[in-house]
Amino acid sequence: MKELKILAVVVFFALVTYWLVEPYAHGIMHKKVDTKSFAYSDLDETTKGVMSKTGDASRGADLIVNGGCTGCHSVNVASIPAAMDAVSAAGAFGVNPPDLSNTGVIYDAKFLAELIKNPAHALNVEHKFAPESGKMHPMVPFYGAGGDIDQEIADMIAYLKSISVKVEDVTPAMAYEDACARCHTVDFVNYTYTGKIPAFKSKKDELAFEINVLEYEDSLKAYMGKLPPDLSMYYLSRSPHYIRTFMEDPQSYLEGTSMPRVGVTADSAEKIVEFMADSADSKRHQRDEIGTYVIYFSIIFAILAILWKKEVWRDLK
Amino acid sequence: MAQFTKATSVKDWLNQRLAIEKVEKVMGSEYWIPKNINFLWAMGMILAFLFLLLTVSGIFLLMYYQPHVDTAFYSVNYTIMSEVDFGWLWRHIHAVASSVTFLIIYIHMFTAIYYGSYKKGREMIWITGMLLFVTFSAGAFSGYMLPWGQMSYWAGMVITNIFSLGDLQFNGLVEWIRGDYAPGQAFLNRFFMLHVFLLPLAIMGLIGLHFAALRIPHVNNQDGEEIDFEAESKKYLAGDKKGSKVMRFANDFLSKDVMVLGIFLVFFFYLVFFHYTFALDPVNLDPADGLVTPKYIYPEWYFLWSYEILRPFSVNIGLIAFGFSQVIFFLLPWLDRSPNTVAASRRGLFKYWFWLMLINMIVLTAMGKLPPKDPFSTIGLISAVLFIVMWLALPFITKNEKKA
Amino acid sequence: MKESSRRGFMGKVLGAVAGLGAIGSLVAMKKSWDPLPSVKAAGFITLDMSVYVDNELVTKEWRKKPIFIMKKSAEALKKQTQEQSARDVVVDGNSYMVAIGLCTHLGCIPAYKKAEEEFLCACHGATFDSSGQVTKLPAPRGLDIPPFKIDGSNLILGEVGPEWQKMKDNGITL
């Protein structure tokens, strides 16, 4: 039993070292940010009026079309096309405004209510558009169409919800494309600012596409201050928890960053994380499955090795 | 010329030409090992097995890795991890095995220090072992450059800068090592060469030498007892297996090696499949960027103690301290002036020296990773000074040790 | 004696289990050698057959090999033998010669001699007629026809369609 004691000493020192250099050191180095469960409770006060109303989708449809939204946003499911292509839109606004087809399901309703009324506040980027800077958030706030503005916003949200797909039909790629793709590329799965990169028939088409991407990048860089990073490896180089809490409030990690709050629902956030996992760690399911078999095999091997040793040593001791 | 007769079997045919029976005896069945040893004596076999795993997994990584600054990161993190079937397996095995190799090397080293296995004719075992430690360190460092992530780049920058030797300002030497003013294509290519060719070759040669150095002095044992291997092996061969103090390497001790290896592999594969992140630092999963230094920069855990000996001092003193820490272990057989080859527990002051050295090196390791601010930098400074003082004191505390 | 055979037994069981593990890892090793998915995906190309001109040889690349394509004119079709016609790929009513442009002897690329209406392999002198049938040794058989599938006026190389399957079954191509 002396050997077990020696083993205990070895394991003890190894574990202490591990604990010090991994969990302890990383706990000291990295800020701990707790998730707020995508509740957006800081918006409770300002959106109380909207949230208490029941929206009417048909009136909302009128407001969206006549209230100016479609001047910048397309609504593909309602056959309302974009006013300009993605590159020109980025040139005009800094970033391509999103299509509204699935806005109602991907984003949180409270967040949308605030976004329509006061975009810079909803997006947590007021520091960037302070009045004295003379800069305006490219999305124009909705000042009301003459009636009760809270009721009107509730109608618009009801409309957006009515046209979007069901929550169970939102794929990881849809959630990612809507919420992140207009500012971030994901090289590993061939995603750029306009979605998945298509197959090209000729080198000329490919180069033309790349020039478009570079032009889009220039506008984006000017608007954001620097080029937002490629997200191919973020699932591993950061962590799922980091991605979630970062989406909830980028300011909690990078104070003063121009990245807006993403405003997605908890469900969409999970899908975005899954999309990023498929890019960075696409073989994770295979690894888990094979890992289990290998561990079982190793245990059987170890047991047999112990038995063999016992038999060989029977004569020796 | 030797006499060759018509072979009666394949074995006989080989035996006439290669003396395989004799080789088997010398290497296995009549290579005598003391019985009085514990599982710590199986660490060498585990290291040999880990080196095999590193070689095999390395071969498969080499088939797809591209040593180019523009494609290295992509070839590792996308091609190998996502495209190549089982590519992730080789990478995880390679990363985890390199980290675990150092864990086992440290256990192996401290076992030798504890039992005095570097004395009385065993000096060459210790020196070749230390050379292996240095070549493995160089292998680990050069391998760490290859994915060309942020940590690769900045570790390459910082470590090669050490060769400017502080105020001596040997910048020409730094640029010679890099082949450029900053780590770039030439740098990546030469570290690739070192990692896949020169260092493995050196390691293989040194492993041979390390094993050869064991033959004459034989393996030490738990009590440092001097065994008459000649007489004890005769006893064994005469049938008194129980009474003999020695056993065959194969299959007697081999069965224990395999048993320890089997138990170790459960732990190892758990790390490979379910707990590999400690060996794949997240910071290195960002592509190299020569214009942005990561917020925290630290080497892999096995270099932390020597890194911490460099860090708390001003540049010149730090380099001297670092140089001291790199060579001092080589001198252990001569710094320990006691003739006693026994376990540290029976060696008076050395007993305290051993445990304090172990704990101090763990403290240095932890402080090397933590950000350089108080209280960590103060603790690090004290530990580094203590490390140097303890080595300088070693000859004095062992000189007057009583015969155990 | 009995005891020693039992001792051997445990060692054998352990050896057998270790062998299983080694075979398992060989499976992973074999798979790591396989062509990458991106390589395999690039093994399918679609050709628009309506753009080709009568009697003009066009060379396309498919799986890093040259593919000869020649649209046959009405006169050429009239002259053709039964065997030659059997090798035609018919897309949208037009007949084409479609073949892998590698000599079936040792893999050189034969050159097309327009005047003689034949392919000559410079390496060892084999010739093929304009349908790809071998006319002079040492080539063992006519030019191979790549697996294809007809899709309207398009030809998809790499996919196996019923027309190609029929040619293969009739021994026209390998």
pLDDT digits (tens, 9 = 90+) for A207-216: 999 999 999 9
- CATH of residue B112: 1.20.810.10
Would you call A188 an interface residue with chain B, using a CB distance cutoff of 8 Å?
yes
C143 is written with which tokens? 């030019």
- Structure confidence at residue B404 (pLDDT): 57
Query: Would you call the peptide bond into C110 cis, given omega within 30 degrees of 0 as the criterion?
Result: no
Would you call B265 an interface residue with chain A, using a CB distance cutoff of 8 Å?
yes
A236, A294, A312 member nearest B252 (Cβ):
A312
B101: confidence class by pLDDT, cuts 50, 70, 90: very high
The answer to whether the Cβ–Cβ distance between C31 and B85 falls below 8 Å is: yes
In angstroms, what CA-CA distances link C103 with A14, C64, C108, C120, C142?
A: 64, 15, 5, 9, 8
Q: What stretches of B370-402 show up as alpha helix (H) in DSSP?
A: 376-399
Per-residue pLDDT tens, chain C, 174 aa: give them. 344 444 588 889 999 999 999 999 999 999 999 999 888 888 888 888 888 888 888 898 888 899 999 988 888 888 888 888 888 888 888 889 899 999 988 989 999 888 888 899 889 988 898 888 888 888 888 899 999 988 888 888 888 888 888 888 888 887
Q: Alpha-carbon distance B109 to B102, whole Å?
A: 10
Find the domain containing B228 and state its range.
Answer: 31-291
Which A residues in the span 26-45 are in contact with B, Cβ-Cβ below 8 Å?
28-29
Would you call C36 an interface residue with chain B, using a CB distance cutoff of 8 Å?
yes
Q: Alpha-carbon distance B42 to B86, whole Å?
A: 30
Task: Let me know whether B249 and B308 are in one domain.
Answer: no
Would you call B273 an interface residue with chain A, using a CB distance cutoff of 8 Å?
yes
Percent of all residues in chain B with a pLDDT value above 90, rounded to a whole number: 81
Task: Let me know whether A182 and A233 are in one domain.
Answer: yes
B92, B251, B286 member nearest A233 (Cβ):
B286
- List of chains touching C (3+ CB pairs within 8 A): A, B
* Span A276-290, average pLDDT: 95
* Span B213-241, average pLDDT: 92
- Structure confidence at residue C117 (pLDDT): 84
* Span B151-179, average pLDDT: 88
Task: Let me know whether B280 and B379 are in one domain.
Answer: no
Q: What stretches of B43-179 show up as alpha helix (H) in DSSP?
A: 43-62, 72-74, 87-115, 123-145, 150-161, 171-178
Task: Let me know whether A266 and A211 are in one domain.
Answer: yes
The answer to whether the Cβ–Cβ distance between B84 and C32 falls below 8 Å is: yes
* Span B16-32, average pLDDT: 92
User: Which of B86, B254, B255, B297 to mutate against chain A (most A CBs within 10 Å)?
Assistant: B255
pTM of this structure: 0.90
Please tell me which residue of chain B has the smallest CA distance to C31: B85
Among residues B291, B307, B342, the one where a domain terminates is B291
Range among A188-192, A251-255, C165-169 rated most confident? A188-192
User: Residue A245: what residue type?
Assistant: T
SS3 A284: helix
- Structure confidence at residue C3 (pLDDT): 45
- Structure confidence at residue B2 (pLDDT): 74
A297, A304, A312 member nearest C13 (Cβ):
A304
Q: Alpha-carbon distance B305 to B380, whole Å?
A: 9
The answer to whether the Cβ–Cβ distance between C36 and B83 falls below 8 Å is: yes
List chain C domain ranges. Answer: 2-34, 40-169
Distance from the C24 Cα atom to the nearest Cα atom in chain A, whole angstroms: 10
- CATH of residue B382: 1.10.287
Task: Let me know whether A97 and A1 are in one domain.
Answer: no
Task: Let me know whether B222 and B361 are in one domain.
Answer: no
Task: Let me know whether A236 and A193 are in one domain.
Answer: yes
Task: Let me know whether B92 and B234 are in one domain.
Answer: yes
User: Which of A5, A7, A189, A309 to mutate against chain B (most B CBs within 10 Å)?
Assistant: A309
Task: Let me know whether A198 and A245 are in one domain.
Answer: yes
- Structure confidence at residue B1 (pLDDT): 60
- Structure confidence at residue C7 (pLDDT): 55
In angstroms, what CA-CA distances link A166 with A105, A106, A171, B62?
A: 7, 10, 10, 47
B77, B266, B282 member nearest A295 (Cβ):
B266
Task: Let me know whether A204 and A312 are in one domain.
Answer: no
Task: Let me know whether B264 and B315 are in one domain.
Answer: no
Task: Let me know whether A79 and A173 are in one domain.
Answer: yes
Task: Let me know whether A221 and A211 are in one domain.
Answer: yes
- Structure confidence at residue A201 (pLDDT): 78
Please provide the average confidence, as pLDDT, over all residues in chain B. Answer: 93
Lowest mean pLDDT among A11-15, A19-23, A44-48: A44-48
Q: Scanning the structure block, which residue is given the tokens 């006693």?
A: B340
Distance from the A233 Cα atom to the nearest Cα atom in chain B, whole angstroms: 7
Residue A42: partners with Cβ closer than 8 Å, 6 or more residues away: none
Residue C159: partners with Cβ closer than 8 Å, 6 or more residues away: C44, C147, C148, C149
Side-chain half-sphere CA neighbours of B6 within 13 A: 0
Chain A residues lying within 8 Å of C6, measured CB to CB: 311
Percent of all residues in chain A with a pLDDT value above 90, rounded to a whole number: 65
- Structure confidence at residue C1 (pLDDT): 34
Find the domain containing A6 and state its range.
Answer: 1-30
- Answer whether residue B9 is part of any domain: no
Task: Let me know whether B278 and B339 are in one domain.
Answer: no
Q: What stretches of chain A show up as alpha helix (H) in DSSP?
A: 2-19, 25-29, 44-51, 57-66, 86-93, 103-106, 109-117, 119-122, 149-163, 172-179, 203-224, 234-237, 240-248, 266-280, 284-313
- Answer whether residue B8 is part of any domain: no
Please provide the average confidence, as pLDDT, over all residues in chain A. Answer: 92
B with C: how many residue pairs have Cβ under 8 Å apart? 24
Distance from the C9 Cα atom to the nearest Cα atom in chain A, whole angstroms: 9
Task: Let me know whether A244 and A307 are in one domain.
Answer: no
- List of chains touching A (3+ CB pairs within 8 A): B, C
The answer to whether the Cβ–Cβ distance between B362 and A282 falls below 8 Å is: no
- Structure confidence at residue C2 (pLDDT): 41
Would you call B83 an interface residue with chain C, using a CB distance cutoff of 8 Å?
yes
The answer to whether the Cβ–Cβ distance between B84 and C38 falls below 8 Å is: no
Task: Let me know whether B284 and B334 are in one domain.
Answer: no
- Answer whether residue B11 is part of any domain: no
Q: Alpha-carbon distance B144 to B304, whole Å?
A: 15
Task: Let me know whether B287 and B354 are in one domain.
Answer: no
Q: Alpha-carbon distance C97 to C87, whole Å?
A: 7
The answer to whether the Cβ–Cβ distance between A311 and C7 falls below 8 Å is: yes
Among residues B236, B263, B291, the one where a domain terminates is B291
Task: Let me know whether A81 and A109 are in one domain.
Answer: yes
Q: Domain spanning C40-169 has what CATH number?
A: 2.102.10.10
B88, B241, B262 member nearest A287 (Cβ):
B88
Would you call B90 an interface residue with chain C, using a CB distance cutoff of 8 Å?
yes
Burial B121-153 (b: 16+ CB within 10 A, else e): ebebbbbbbbbbbebbbbbbbbbbbbbbbbbbb
User: Residue C114: what residue type?
Assistant: K
Chain C residues lying within 8 Å of A300, measured CB to CB: 17
A17 is written with which tokens? 């070292």
Distance from the C11 Cα atom to the nearest Cα atom in chain B, whole angstroms: 9
Distance from the A242 Cα atom to the nearest Cα atom in chain B, whole angstroms: 12
**Domains of chain B: total:** 2
Tell me: the pLDDT tens digits for A113-130? 999 998 999 998 888 888
The secondary structure of residue B329, as a DSSP letter, is G
Q: Alpha-carbon distance A303 to B282, whole Å?
A: 35
Task: Let me know whether A199 and A124 are in one domain.
Answer: yes
Among residues B234, B260, B291, the one where a domain terminates is B291
Q: Which residue has the higher pLDDT, B182 or B196?
A: B196
In angstroms, what CA-CA distances link A284 with A281, A295, B89, B92, C29?
A: 6, 16, 11, 12, 19
**Domains of chain A: total:** 3
User: Which of A200, A309, A311, A316 to mutate against chain C (most C CBs within 10 Å)?
Assistant: A311
- Structure confidence at residue C162 (pLDDT): 87
* Span B72-100, average pLDDT: 96
Residue B400 pLDDT more than 50?
Answer: yes
Distance from the C36 Cα atom to the nearest Cα atom in chain A, whole angstroms: 14
Task: Let me know whether B175 and B313 are in one domain.
Answer: no
